[in-house]
Chains A and B, each alone.
Chain A
Amino acid sequence: MRRRLPAVLLLAVLTLLPPLLPERHLATFVLLALAATVTVGVSLLMGYAGQVSLGQASFYAIGAYAAGLLAVHGVPPLLGLLAAPVIAAVAATLLGAPLLRLRGHHLAFATLAVQLILLSLLAQADWAGGAIGLQGIPRFSIGGFELREDLGYAYAAGFVLMIAVLIARNVIESRAGRGMRAAATSETAAAASGVAIGGYRLAVFALSAAFAGLAGGVYAFYLGYLAPGSFPVLLSIEFVVMAVVGGLGTIAGPLVGASVIVLLVQALNTLGTQPGMPGYAPAVLSYAVYAIVLIVCVLYLPKGLVPPIRDRLSVRPATPAPDHV
Chain B
Amino acid sequence: MSDLIGYLVTGLGIGAGFALVASGLVAIYRVTRVVNFAQGAFAVLAAMLAASLLGAGVPHGLAELGGVTLGALTGLIVGAVAIGRPGTSPGTSLIVTLGLGVLAYAVEILIWGDQPRSYPGVPGVADLAGARLQAHYLLIIAVTAPVFALMAWFFTRTDLGRALSACASNRYAAQVVGIDVRRMGLLAFTIGGALGGLAGVLTTPVQQVTFDSDVALIVNGFAAAVLGGLTRPVIALAGGLLLGVAQTLAAGYGGGAYQVEVALVLMLTVMIVQAARTGPVAETAR
Contacts and interface: CB of A to CB of B under 8 A. Distances in A.
B109 A291 contact: no
A290 B102 CA distance: 7
Number of chain A interface residues as a range: 35 or more
A54 B99 CA distance: 13
A294 B261 contact: no
Contacts of A295: 81, 96, 99-100, 103
Given A291-B102, A295-B96, A295-B103, A113 B272 contact: no
Contacts of A187: 280, 283
Given A104-B284, A110-B271, A287-B102, A299 B113 contact: no
A280 B102 contact: no
Interface stretch (B50-58, B86-94, B124-132, B142-150): B86-94
Interface stretch (A117-125, A136-144, A150-158): A117-125
A291 B219 contact: no
A233 B281 contact: no
Contacts of A112: 215, 219
B265 A117 contact: yes
B60 to A, nearest CB: 29
Contacts of A287: 102-103, 105-106, 109
Interface string B96-119: 101111110110011001100000
A105 B100 CA distance: 16
A167 interface: no
A302 B87 CA distance: 12
Nearest to A293: B99
Interface stretch (A95-103, A203-211, A310-318): A95-103
B226 A106 contact: yes
B260 interface: yes
A185 interface: yes
Given A185-B286, A295-B100, A105 B35 contact: yes
B96 A102 contact: no
Contacts, number: 126
A277 to B, nearest CB: 12
A42 B266 CA distance: 26
A200 interface: no
A295 to B, nearest CB: 4
- Determine which residue in B100, B264, B284 has the highest number of CB atoms from chain A within 10 A of its CB, and name it: B264
Interface residues of B, number: 44
Contacts of A299: 81, 85, 88, 92, 96
B98 A302 contact: no
B272 A294 contact: no
Nearest to B284: A104
A284 B57 CA distance: 28
Given A291-B103, A294-B99, A298-B96, A106 B281 contact: yes
A57 to B, nearest CB: 13
B109 A284 contact: yes
Contacts of B177: none
Interface string B214-230: 01000100110010000
Interface string A209-251: 0000000000000000000000001100100110010000000
B268 interface: yes
Given A295-B96, A295-B99, A113 B280 contact: no
A301 to B, nearest CB: 12
A240 B101 CA distance: 14
A103 B94 CA distance: 13
A87 B273 CA distance: 27
Interface string B242-286: 000000000000000110110011011001100110001101101
Interface string B148-182: 00000000000000000000000000000000000
B95 interface: yes
A292 B103 CA distance: 7
Contact of B106 (A116, A244, A284, A294): A284
B266 to A, nearest CB: 10
A249 B212 CA distance: 31
Contacts of B95: 52, 240, 244, 294, 298
A16 interface: no
Contacts of B265: 117
Given A117-B261, A284-B106, A108 B92 contact: no
B106 A288 contact: yes
Given A185-B286, A298-B96, A284 B110 contact: yes
A274 interface: no
A109 B219 contact: yes
A280 B85 contact: no
Contacts of A185: 286
Interface in A64-122: 98-99, 101-106, 108-110, 112-114, 116-117, 120-121
19 contacts: A99-B268, A103-B281, A104-B281, A105-B94, A106-B226, A106-B281, A117-B264, A237-B102, A240-B98, A280-B109, A280-B114, A284-B110, A287-B102, A287-B106, A287-B109, A290-B99, A291-B103, A291-B106, A299-B92
Closest 6 CB pairs of A and B: A291-B103, A294-B99, A287-B106, A288-B106, A295-B99, A291-B102
Given A187-B283, A283-B106, 9 more contacts: A106-B271, A108-B35, A108-B94, A110-B268, A113-B219, A120-B260, A188-B283, A295-B99, A295-B100
